[in-house]
Chains A and B, each alone.
Chain A
Amino acid sequence: MVSNEPAVTPELVAEHGLTPDEYERIRKLIGREPTFTELGIFSAMWNEHCSYKSSKVHLRTLPTKASWVIQGPGENAGVIDIGDGLAVVFKMESHNHPSYIEPYQGAATGVGGILRDVFTMGARPIACLNALSFGAPDNPKTRHLVAGVVAGIGGYGNSFGVPTVGGEVRFHRRYDGNCLVNAMAVGIAEAGKIFYSAASGVGMPIVYLGSKTGRDGIHGASMASAEFGADAEEKRPTVQVGDPFSEKLLLEACLEIMEKGCVIAIQDMGAAGLTCSAVEMGAKGDLGVTLDLDSVPCRETGMSAYEMMLSESQERMLMVLRPEKEKEAEAIFRKWGLDFAIVGETTPTKRFIVRLGGAVMADLPIKELGDQAPVYDRPAAQAPKHPIFDAATLEAPIGIAEALEKLIGSPDLCSKRWVWQQYDHVILGNTVQRPGGDAAVVRINDGPKALALTADVTPRYCEADPFEGGKQAVAEAWRNLTATGARPLALTDNLNFGNPERPEIMGQLVGCIRGIGEACRVLDFPVVSGNVSLYNETNGRAILPTPTIGGVGLLDDFTKSITLGFKSEGEAILLVGETTGWLGQSLYLREVYGREEGAPPPVDLAAEKRHGDFVRGLIRDGLVTAVHDISDGGLLIALAEMAMASGIGAVLENPTNALAHGFWFGEDQARYVLTAGLSDRKRVLARAQEAGLPLRMIGTTGGHVLALANERPLAVTRLRDRFEAWLPDYMRGSER
Chain B
Amino acid sequence: MKSAVLVFPGINRERDMARALTLVAGRAPTIVWHADSKLPTGTDLVVIPGGFSYGDYLRCGAIAARAPIMDAVRAFATEGGLVLAVCNGFQIACEAGLLPGVLMRNAQLRFICRDVYLRVERSDTPFTRGYNAGQVIRVPVAHGEGNYIADGETIARLEGEGRVVFRYSSPDGIVDPNWNHNGAMNAIAGIINERGNVLGMMPHPENHVEALMGCTDGRGLFAGLLDHFKRAA
Contacts and interface: CB of A to CB of B under 8 A. Distances in A.
Contact of B12 (A161, A246, A426, A432): A161
B12 A427 contact: yes
A245 B55 contact: yes
B10 A424 contact: no
A245 B54 contact: yes
Nearest to A162: B12
A194 interface: no
B229 interface: no
Chain A interface size band reads: 20 to 34
Given A249-B9, A427-B16, A429-B207, A161 B113 contact: no
Contacts of B207: 426-427, 429
Given A244-B55, A248-B10, A428-B15, A423 B113 contact: yes
Given A159-B52, A243-B55, A422 B112 contact: yes
B212 A424 contact: no
Contacts of A336: 9
Given A245-B52, A248-B12, A426 B140 contact: yes
A424 B16 CA distance: 13
Contact of B142 (A158, A160, A246, A249): A158
A434 B55 CA distance: 26
B9 A245 contact: yes
Given A426-B207, A429-B206, A159 B16 contact: no
A426 B212 contact: no
Given A161-B51, A245-B52, A428-B15, A422 B213 contact: no
Contacts of B19: 429
A664 B38 CA distance: 66
A19 interface: no
B206 A421 contact: no
Contacts, number: 84
A245 B142 CA distance: 17
A155 B111 CA distance: 8
Contacts of A382: none
B111 A427 contact: no
A416 interface: no
B204 interface: yes
Contacts of A430: 212
A345 B144 CA distance: 44
A558 interface: yes
A243 B10 CA distance: 11
Given A161-B13, A248-B10, A151 B212 contact: no
Nearest to B56: A159
B141 to A, nearest CB: 9
Nearest to A420: B113
Contacts of B213: 426, 429, 431-432
B69 to A, nearest CB: 15
Contacts of B56: 159, 245
Contact of A154 (B16, B111, B209): B111
B44 interface: no
Interface residues of B, number: 30
A428 B15 CA distance: 7
B13 A427 contact: yes
B227 interface: no
A443 interface: yes
Nearest to B212: A432
Contact of B113 (A246, A424, A429, A447): A424
A372 interface: no
Which among A155, A421, A423 has the highest number of chain B CB atoms within 10 Å? A421
A304 interface: no
Contacts of A158: 52, 111, 113, 142, 144
Interface string A459-476: 000000000000000000
Contact of B212 (A161, A420, A421, A558): A558
A557 to B, nearest CB: 11
A91 B4 CA distance: 36
A243 B113 CA distance: 21
Interface string A239-280: 000011110110000000000000000000000000000000
A427 B142 contact: yes
Interface string A143-185: 0000000010011001111000000000000000000000000
Interface in B61-80: none
B9 A422 contact: no
B157 interface: no
Interface in B91-126: 110-114
Given A161-B13, A248-B10, A421 B113 contact: yes
Interface string B189-233: 000000000000000101101101110000000000000000000
A424 B52 contact: no
Interface string B36-57: 0000000000000001101111
A700 to B, nearest CB: 26
A243 B57 CA distance: 11
B114 to A, nearest CB: 5
A244 B206 contact: no
Contacts of A681: none
B55 A428 contact: no
A202 B54 CA distance: 39
Contacts of B13: 161, 427
Nearest to A248: B10
Nearest to B9: A249
B55 A426 contact: no
A421 B57 contact: no
A429 B142 contact: no
Given A248-B10, A429-B16, A422 B111 contact: yes
A431 B51 CA distance: 18
A151 B19 CA distance: 29
Interface string A404-433: 000000000000000011111111111110
B108 to A, nearest CB: 10
Contacts of B55: 159, 243-246
Contacts of A244: 52, 55
Interface in B1-43: 9-10, 12-13, 15-16, 19-20
A337 interface: yes
Contacts of B212: 430, 432, 443, 447, 558-559
A245 B111 CA distance: 17
Contacts of B54: 245
B99 to A, nearest CB: 23
Nearest to A158: B111
Contacts of A420: 113
A423 B142 CA distance: 8
B142 A337 contact: no
A727 B51 CA distance: 28
A607 B63 CA distance: 59
Contact of A159 (B12, B110, B112): B12
Nearest to B142: A424
A337 B9 contact: yes
13 contacts: A154-B111, A160-B12, A243-B55, A244-B52, A245-B9, A245-B55, A421-B113, A424-B111, A424-B113, A426-B113, A429-B210, A429-B213, A432-B213
Interface of A: 151, 154-155, 158-161, 243-246, 248-249, 336-337, 420-432, 434, 443, 447, 558-559
Interface of B: 9-10, 12-13, 15-16, 19-20, 51-52, 54-57, 110-114, 140, 142, 144, 204, 206-207, 209-210, 212-214
Given A244-B55, A246-B55, A427-B12, 18 more contacts: A158-B113, A158-B142, A159-B55, A161-B51, A243-B55, A244-B52, A245-B57, A422-B110, A422-B113, A423-B113, A424-B113, A426-B113, A427-B16, A429-B15, A429-B20, A429-B206, A429-B210, A443-B212
When A and B form their complex, which 4 residue pairs have the shortest distance between CB atoms, in order from nearest? A161-B12, A245-B55, A159-B52, A424-B142
